[in-house]
Amino acid sequence: MPKSSSSSSSSSSSHLTVVGSAALDTIETPHGRADDALGGSALFMGAAGSLFAPVHIVAIVGDDFPRLEIEFLRARGVDLTGLESVPGKTFRWHGRYYENMNRRDTLSVELGVFEGFNPRLPAAAAQAEILMLANIDPALQTNVLKQTVKPLLVVFDTMNHWITGSRPAIVRLLKNVDMALLNDEELHLLVGGKSTVDNAAKLLEMGPRYAVIKKGEHGAILFTRDQPPFLCPAFPINDPKDPTGAGDSFAGGMLGYLAATNDIGSYNLRRAVVYGTVVASFTVEAFGMKRLETLDADEIEERFRQFRAMVEF
Amino acid sequence: MPKSSSSSSSSSSSHLTVVGSAALDTIETPHGRADDALGGSALFMGAAGSLFAPVHIVAIVGDDFPRLEIEFLRARGVDLTGLESVPGKTFRWHGRYYENMNRRDTLSVELGVFEGFNPRLPAAAAQAEILMLANIDPALQTNVLKQTVKPLLVVFDTMNHWITGSRPAIVRLLKNVDMALLNDEELHLLVGGKSTVDNAAKLLEMGPRYAVIKKGEHGAILFTRDQPPFLCPAFPINDPKDPTGAGDSFAGGMLGYLAATNDIGSYNLRRAVVYGTVVASFTVEAFGMKRLETLDADEIEERFRQFRAMVEF
């Protein structure tokens, strides 16, 4: 149920707040290169989530940030009040993908103003029903959570760096999180079990009611405490150009759909995972978030139908 | 529709002939070790396929082969007339899996009598409706095909070694094959396209009407010429012990189901892929083919139902 292109944001939707990075990415893949492309978890999640529901972005950029390039977000009704702008350089990442694009090397990282990021939620963002804590220092994630007004769904992401270096903070935070959103490798590093199934069970014992395990081009698995897992393959793309942001747009699409439908029952969670999968499949068709900029509700619905036809038996 | 444990082989089933290797595998995984375990593509496919339909195995073993250990196949009605026994040593493989078991090193290979394998199909095997040409020299696969009596479905597997070294023979053979069964990497090496979707389309232009692309623990995708692809995730296992033979038991289960149902329509092909997935998921729960030895129809049906509950949305 993405927003149709003709309707304004539904007032019956829940709101989604995403707290994470805003970045300028230089990306090399076998299919080309993009310089200083819009990137970062908060922007990807915001671009994807706003296709479904009202989104508040909380992130930080430097005074070199090309504000005009995110006008498409404002036009979609994204609240950018929490996008703090400070003197200095925007977070920059430069990566190069291998031939099959499952692997990449990070060539350089310049944290810039992101190094001093201390997220403050504007009032509207603090009241959102769904809070996405994208990958930042778990101490900051914890501070963000304290600023909220009883969200219905708190979602947590992280990365190997924090799992290794800040495990105690993550373990404490997980007790107050409803959903963990990790990739296979992060999950294994965090709990170290026998298999994805075993790892997910252990993760759910640590606090979250739901775990969504991302497997890149191989899809995702949703684990809950009382239902069978939901196995969601990725939507296969004929000519992928750039995987950057696929995982974050998956998250944004999934949570945007949950916000739009106001329903976190297990059946709707499965549909949300599929919508996330569909949005991510568009993301990889162009560099950075170019495809997300033009994507519309009809395209999403059409691909949702195509996906169903690819999994029925 | 696996055979129920009480029924004998149905006379309305098609027959499946598998031509490939019989081996003694020494396997090391993080969960243990097995020495001289039954292995090889033909035996795994036969063990899996015979859970559904009458199977003929065509392979070669040395005089050191422990014939008693395959009595369970005979008890299931497998025709072992084509299991040639000659003086010398049986094909031996010794492998060691890494921690996550997606990767393995081959520590040693002793071809033994397999080096002189020149498959001869007994009359009953030559008349089977479904012929599985497992991974052997494509020149031998071509010879096998010439010995058959107009099979309804010819299925082809190979490996990187032959794709690199015997490409012209493979290209010729593919023109006379109905279904190619390859893993992602083999597919890419063979056609070198932009993605799995693109590669599969190119493969289908080379002859086969169907392509089943195996992705290990990430499942499989069925491609046909005129229907959407079928995305089939793997059945997630809590405590996998040994991935050896998973791909071959997938193939055996899939083709056994097709033989049992006598139907290669696109809907039934999808169900066959799921049955293959289910059988493979049992295989990895124990070393070698130990789990396949005790597996029965009820267990398969139960897991088929569980699988459906894991993919519905």
* Burial annotation B108-130 (CB, 10 A radius, 16+ → b, else e): eeebbbbeebebebbeebbebbb
Instruction: Measure CB to CB from residue A219 to each of B198, B233, B271 and give the nearest one.
Output: B233
pTM: 0.95
For chain B, positions 72-111, list CB contacts with chain A under 8 A.
Answer: 100
Does B198 reach chain A within 8 Å, measured CB to CB? yes
**pLDDT > 90 fraction of chain B, expressed in percent and rounded:** 94
pLDDT tens digits, one per residue of B231-279 = 999 999 999 999 999 999 999 999 999 999 999 999 999 999 999 999 9
> Tell me, what's the pLDDT at A12?
80
Distance CA(B158)–CA(B170), nearest Å, equals 9
Does A196 reach chain B within 8 Å, measured CB to CB? yes
**How many CB pairs (< 8 A) connect A and B?**
90
> Tell me, what's the pLDDT at B6?
44
Does B149 reach chain A within 8 Å, measured CB to CB? no
Element (H, E) at B282: helix B266-283
Residues B93 and B103: beta-carbon distance below 8 Å: no
Q: How confident is the model at residue B1 (pLDDT cuts 50, 70, 90)?
A: low
- B166: its two tokens: 């015997």
ipTM: 0.94
pLDDT tens digits, one per residue of B126-135 = 999 999 999 9
Average pLDDT of the segment spanning A206-214: 98
The yes-or-no verdict on residue A6 having pLDDT over 80 is no
Whether the CA torsion A203, A206, A212, A214 is positive or negative: it is negative
- Which residue of B lies nearest to A101 if distances are taken between CA atoms? B195
CB contact under 8 A, B236 and A228: no
For chain B, positions 267-306, list CB contacts with chain A under 8 A.
Answer: 267, 270-271, 273-274, 306
Does B218 reach chain A within 8 Å, measured CB to CB? yes
The CB-side HSE value for B151 (13 A sphere, CA atoms) comes to 32
State the nearest Cα–Cα gap between B226 and chain A, in angstroms.
13
Does A237 reach chain B within 8 Å, measured CB to CB? yes
pLDDT tens digits, one per residue of A148-196 = 999 999 999 999 999 999 999 999 999 999 999 999 999 999 999 999 9
Does B238 reach chain A within 8 Å, measured CB to CB? yes
Report the residue count for chain B: 313
Residues B11 and B257: beta-carbon distance below 8 Å: no
Residue-averaged pLDDT of chain A: 95
- Which residue of B lies nearest to A275 if distances are taken between CA atoms? B313
Does A202 reach chain B within 8 Å, measured CB to CB? no
Residues 6+ apart with CB under 8 A from B185: B160
Write down the H helix ranges in B158-245.
160-165, 167-174, 184-191, 196-205
Query: Three-state SS across chain A?
Result: CCCCCCCCCCCCCCCEEEECCCEEEEEEECCEEEEEEEECHHHHHHHHHCCCCCEEEEEEECCCCCHHHHHHHHHCCCECCCEEECCCCCEEEEEEECCCCCCEEEEEEECHHHHHCCCCCCHHHHCCCEEEECCCCHHHHHHHHHHCCCCCEEEECCCHHHHHHCHHHHHHHHCCCCEEEEEHHHHHHHHCCCCHHHHHHHHHHCCCCEEEEECHHHCEEEEECCCCCEEECCCCCCCCCCCCCHHHHHHHHHHHHHHHHCCCCHHHHHHHHHHHHHHHHHHCCCCCCHHHHHCCHHHHHHHHHHHHHHHCC
> Tell me, what's the pLDDT at B2?
75
- Which residue of B lies nearest to A200 if distances are taken between CA atoms? B238
pLDDT tens digits, one per residue of B58-114 = 999 999 999 999 999 999 999 999 999 999 999 999 999 998 888 899 999 999 999
DSSP B20-56: ---EEEEEEETTEEEEEEEE-HHHHHHHHHTTTS-EE
CB contact under 8 A, A311 and B231: yes
> Tell me, what's the pLDDT at A1?
66
CB contact under 8 A, B311 and A306: no
Cα B148 to its chain centre, rounded Å, is 19
Which chain A residues are closer than 8 Å to B237 by Cβ? 195, 197
CATH number for the B16-311 domain, one of 3.20.20.10, 3.40.50.720, 2.40.30.10, 3.40.1190.20? 3.40.1190.20
**Quick one: A293 exposed, middle or buried, by C-beta within 10 A (0-12, 13-18, 19+)?**
middle
> Tell me, what's the pLDDT at A11?
54
State the nearest Cα–Cα gap between A26 and chain B, in angstroms.
22
Average pLDDT of the segment spanning B167-190: 97
Residues A255 and A16: beta-carbon distance below 8 Å: yes
| Structural domain boundaries in chain A | 16-311
Does A266 reach chain B within 8 Å, measured CB to CB? no
Please report, as a single letter, which amino acid is at residue B153.
Answer: L
Distance CA(A31)–CA(A54), nearest Å, equals 34
State the nearest Cα–Cα gap between A301 and chain B, in angstroms.
15
